[in-house]
Structure 1
Amino acid sequence: MTTLADPVPGGRPGDVERATALSGELAGRGVHGVVLAYVDTAGIGRVKTVPTAKLPSAAAWGVGMSPVFDTFLADDSIVTTDVLGSPDGDLRLYPDLTALVELAAQPGWAWAPVDRITQEGEPHPACARTFLRRTVREAAARHGVTFRASIEIEWVFARPPGPDGAFVPAVTAPAYGVARQVELSDCAAELLAALARQGVETEQFHPEYAAGQFELSVAALDPVAAADRSVLVRQTIRAVARRHGLAVSFAPALLGRGVGNGGHVHLSVWREGVNLHAGGDRRHGMRPEAESFAAGVLGRLSALTAVTAPSPASYLRLRPSQWAGAFTAWGRETREAGLRLVTGTVGRREQTANIEVKPVDLAANPYLALGCLIAAGLGGMTVDARLPEEITGDPAHLDAREAAALGVRRLPVSLGEAVGEFRTDGVLRGALGPVLADAVTAVREGEIARVDGLDDDGVAAAYRWVY
């Protein structure tokens, strides 16, 4: 389990000694460098690396990096807020040694996620991983609950793009088809082996719907570890694909039309080892706290899309009748609803029942997404919120009267509309804090401005090879 302790100058207790031992062990296995990884507000993975021998120094005193990256856009242009976006200042990146792994698909390298603190030793207010860790800590202290989470990974395998950046899928066989699995059998087997060597418990791996698309599901972990795992899995997929001469994209939409890549979040609430989504007297076995948590998420789903669907390309994917969850609706095993209640199979429900949040893609910073989803759910628990009537089928087929009676509304159809919802949501902004909330708004508005005037195909092309 990842540590919930903030880093401090000089290192967390025991970290320097642990880093010294790890440094020697890694060097003995031919590991020459350690990737220090985090995700910026735009959802782009950023890194610094250190030689393996410098890991103890990094654990004690961190590694410098500018705070300007908190307001980078996906094309590396920069926007500003009242406190971010300046060339001034410095932060220290501290590796979480409990999450360090040797990279199976990148021989000679290890990897660790980082937390960021200021030069004065305070948590950086725009550090998304720190935000998630703080949210989890406060949930345990105030509500006595913990969480299990996992993030589905969808992507496409493609031929390396030429100068025009066009998308050519690596396989053309049917969705979920055996032929597609056979065509990439060697690559897929190497990927599963690499993940296993890195300690990643893969639940499922299969061809998906869109051209060249695959999906991988991993076991649920505590939220910070689940976000770390999402970052690590994507790095591994990229590395394995490159070894086989392939490109990959996790972008929400590769083309202006069609099904895109999702990053659905599965989340469950636990108290003292008991899954609150099973064994209760509410609908489908939910306990009162689980229903209130789910209602809190559903009630803020429109504002949440500014965090969970953060790119202009996200709204090319977030369309009705594509299993993207484009409506404020919920139902048991209802894949068109924005919130799907997964009860699991009889005999395993106490272990597996959870909610699936559908309007999420992999342009989202996983730490921000999970932190905001948990904050929304806790808001529902605080007021004992109740879920509305559930739906079945596709909510796009409801007439206006039926939709109104069920409280079903279309989620934002553009990033601008989502930002408008986010601006007025006090719970989400309060959870994030003013510095991080303003960074989210500024970066989203910057992305909107940079694609102004582009048609759907142009928007898809702008983000196709970024994520």
Structure 2
Amino acid sequence: MQEPVVFNCRNADDVTKAVKEYNISFVQFWFVDVLGTLKSFQVTPSELEEAFEEGMGFDGSSIEGFARIHESDMVAFPDPTTFQLVSWRPMERPVARMFCDIKNPDGTPYEGDSRYVLKRILNKAAEDGYSFYVGPELEFFLFESSREPKTLDFGGYFDAPPLDLANDIRRDIIHGLNSMGIVVEYSHHEVAPSQHEIDLRYQEALKMADTAVTYRVIAKEVARRHGCYASFMPKPLFGENGSGMHVHQSLFRNGRNVFYDASAPDSLSKECKHYIAGLLRHANEITAVCNQWVNSYKRLVPGYEAPVYVAWARRNRTSLVRVPMYKPGKETATRIELRSPDPACNPYLAFACMLAAGLKGMEEKYVLPDAVEADIFEMNQEERRKHGIPSLPGSLFEAVEALEESNVVKEALGDHIFRNFIANKKIEWDNYRTQVTEYEIKKYLPIL
């Protein structure tokens, strides 16, 4: 890994200067499709000036969830503040990247651009003086290859070498993240064999969405260099915990944490409680976006530490929303944690939906139900009913049904992405439910 060279470019001139100074050979332009899959094309330094002024045109009809064939012309405008050298390329011929904002040929924002969706809801929050900060915990697996989920070790939670055989790989991933200006708080082996977590320092939501996309790329590139494969698939191993993306979140106004109230017994402000109530009330509606794959619902089952039940607590890790108590009474540490999302989601859309649900709770002053500190996994159905604890959708089909009825999510995503996302997920569900699995063959063929 190269020594860290972190840029803080503010405009096109800063980028042009950096490209010349470091003799950068290519600049990758990054953006994601509606599902969060990274798309990229490269430009030479000689094209940068025109790209900043006029953008770079491309065919949007070939991008999932973008334009139809008769309205396919799209223009990518690079964001100079996202300029960094890619850490997995040799410094002898350095390559940089910038995230792009996608626009129509007339210069208006393209409503199918996930980054624009998040920007729009952040701007709405900013009108009321709020800044939205998030700190996701992305878990992933390391396998021998992408062909089958063959683990590299049998380590468990916080295990050290020799049980943890990927310490060097995690360290190289962290070096790669640091080289691109991404601050890592800590890393460790997770509960399942060959499962890992690298926690990122919280930051403003748009920058964090860019960071989450970058994190996934770096993890895969570093793993490839080590001869293995990094997977963010939510549930690749039967009988083991899946990979989640717990999202810590808070709102700030004028440099003060809106979720903190020193006079409250639990230090949680009324705004914070309304925000949590918004996440709970709209939890089923945002699930399809935060858990967007058929496989996501193999993780969201009781017994594997993934939250299934819609409740909140201060310490209870079986609840959907948790208020971490690592540093009670400290303003900057006051935050809430949504535990249902997984790391294979589109982070721009997921963060947008979380914020939209929370803001709705604040706007409408939703009443927060009582915290549930008992182990919800140990409750039977009748006990959960008495506590008023509903369940998250049990399948992608159920989640899409809830999404279709959501005015909150439709407003957050905009009509274009809302329609295209639902259409894509319905196709995925139909493709999945027509499959005949190995489980069915083994169980039913001998007896039916």
The normalised TM-score by structure 2 is: 0.90
The question of 1:42 aligning with 2:27 is answered: no
State the distance in 1 between where 2:265 and 2:116 align: 35
The AA in structure 2 aligned to 1:116 is I
Deviations 1:191-226 (A, max 9, x none): 222222221110110000112110010111100001
CA gap 1:396/1:172 in 2 versus in 1, 3 angstroms: closer
1:452 aligns to what? 433
1:111 offset after TM fit, Å? Answer: 1.8
Alpha-carbon contact 1:106-1:239 (below 8 Å) kept: no
Alpha-carbon contact 2:161-2:167 (below 8 Å) kept: no
State the distance in 2 between where 1:331 and 1:166 align: 38
State the distance in 1 between where 2:192 and 2:267 align: 34
The question of 1:365 aligning with 2:346 is answered: yes
After TM superposition, the structure 1 stretch with the greater mean CA deviation from structure 2, 256-265 or 353-362, is 256-265
Return 5+ residue gaps in structure 2 as ranges.
1-9, 441-448
After TM superposition, the structure 1 stretch with the greater mean CA deviation from structure 2, 122-131 or 63-72, is 63-72
2:241 aligns to what? 259
Among candidates 50, 54, 57, match of residue 61 of structure 1: 54
The question of 1:234 aligning with 2:211 is answered: no
* 1:403 alignment partner, SS class: helix
1:88 offset after TM fit, Å? Answer: 4.4
1:268 offset after TM fit, Å? Answer: 0.5
1:160 aligns to what? 145
The normalised TM-score by structure 1 is: 0.86
Alpha-carbon contact 2:60-2:72 (below 8 Å) kept: yes
1:308 offset after TM fit, Å? Answer: 0.1
The question of 1:303 aligning with 2:285 is answered: yes
State the distance in 2 between where 1:305 and 1:455 align: 26
Among candidates 72, 96, 103, match of residue 117 of structure 1: 103
The question of 1:314 aligning with 2:300 is answered: no
1:151 aligns to what? 136
* 1:444 alignment partner, SS class: helix
CA gap 1:52/1:253 in 2 versus in 1, 3 angstroms: farther
State the distance in 2 between where 1:66 and 1:283 align: 56
* 2:27 alignment partner, SS class: strand
The AA in structure 1 aligned to 2:121 is T
* 1:436 alignment partner, SS class: helix
Deviations 1:212-254 (A, max 9, x none): 1100101111000010111111111112111111111011111
List aligned pairs for 1:164-243, cutoff 5 A: 165-179=147-161, 183-243=165-225
Among candidates 116, 126, 138, match of residue 112 of structure 2: 126
Among candidates 49, 68, 85, match of residue 102 of structure 1: 85
The AA in structure 2 aligned to 1:150 is G
CA gap 1:182/1:52 in 2 versus in 1, 3 angstroms: farther
1:91 offset after TM fit, Å? Answer: 0.8
State the distance in 2 between where 1:205 and 1:181 align: 15
* 1:393 alignment partner, SS class: coil
State the distance in 1 between where 2:78 and 2:420 align: 23
* 2:69 alignment partner, SS class: coil
Higher RCO (C-alpha under 8 Å, 6+ residues apart): 1
Alpha-carbon contact 1:23-1:56 (below 8 Å) kept: no
State the distance in 1 between where 2:380 and 2:332 align: 37
Deviations 1:252-303 (A, max 9, x none): 1113443111112111111211112223455621111111111111110011
1:23 aligns to what? 19
CA gap 1:423/1:180 in 2 versus in 1, 3 angstroms: farther
Alpha-carbon contact 1:282-1:291 (below 8 Å) kept: no
1:437 aligns to what? 418
CA gap 1:428/1:69 in 2 versus in 1, 3 angstroms: farther
State the distance in 1 between where 2:293 and 2:62 align: 17
* 1:156 alignment partner, SS class: strand
* 1:374 alignment partner, SS class: helix
1:395 aligns to what? 376
State the distance in 2 between where 1:372 and 1:26 align: 39
1:455 offset after TM fit, Å? Answer: 6.2
Deviations 1:380-433 (A, max 9, x none): 011111210111233233234432343211100000100110111111111222
* 1:147 alignment partner, SS class: strand
CA gap 1:360/1:457 in 2 versus in 1, 3 angstroms: farther
* 1:113 alignment partner, SS class: strand
1:76 aligns to what? none
Alpha-carbon contact 2:164-2:189 (below 8 Å) kept: no
Alpha-carbon contact 2:153-2:164 (below 8 Å) kept: no
After TM superposition, the structure 1 stretch with the greater mean CA deviation from structure 2, 101-110 or 181-190, is 181-190
After TM superposition, the structure 1 stretch with the greater mean CA deviation from structure 2, 300-309 or 43-52, is 43-52
Alpha-carbon contact 1:103-1:110 (below 8 Å) kept: yes
1:90 aligns to what? 73
1:6 aligns to what? none
Deviations 1:8-66 (A, max 9, x none): xxxxxx84433322321342xxx322222222222322212212332322222222233
1:276 aligns to what? 258
Alpha-carbon contact 1:257-1:316 (below 8 Å) kept: no
State the distance in 2 between where 1:315 and 1:422 align: 15
1:11 aligns to what? none
The question of 1:335 aligning with 2:317 is answered: yes
State the distance in 2 between where 1:283 and 1:306 align: 35
Among candidates 374, 383, 388, match of residue 364 of structure 2: 383
* 1:178 alignment partner, SS class: coil
CA gap 1:62/1:102 in 2 versus in 1, 3 angstroms: same
1:110 offset after TM fit, Å? Answer: 1.3
Alpha-carbon contact 1:180-1:207 (below 8 Å) kept: no
Return 5+ residue gaps in structure 1 as ranges.
1-13, 73-82, 460-467
1:440 offset after TM fit, Å? Answer: 1.5
The AA in structure 2 aligned to 1:415 is L
After TM superposition, the structure 1 stretch with the greater mean CA deviation from structure 2, 200-209 or 239-248, is 239-248
State the distance in 2 between where 1:324 and 1:115 align: 34
State the distance in 1 between where 2:164 and 2:194 align: 13
The AA in structure 2 aligned to 1:434 is D
Among candidates 42, 51, 59, match of residue 44 of structure 2: 51
2:124 aligns to what? 138
Alpha-carbon contact 2:139-2:196 (below 8 Å) kept: yes
Alpha-carbon contact 1:278-1:343 (below 8 Å) kept: no
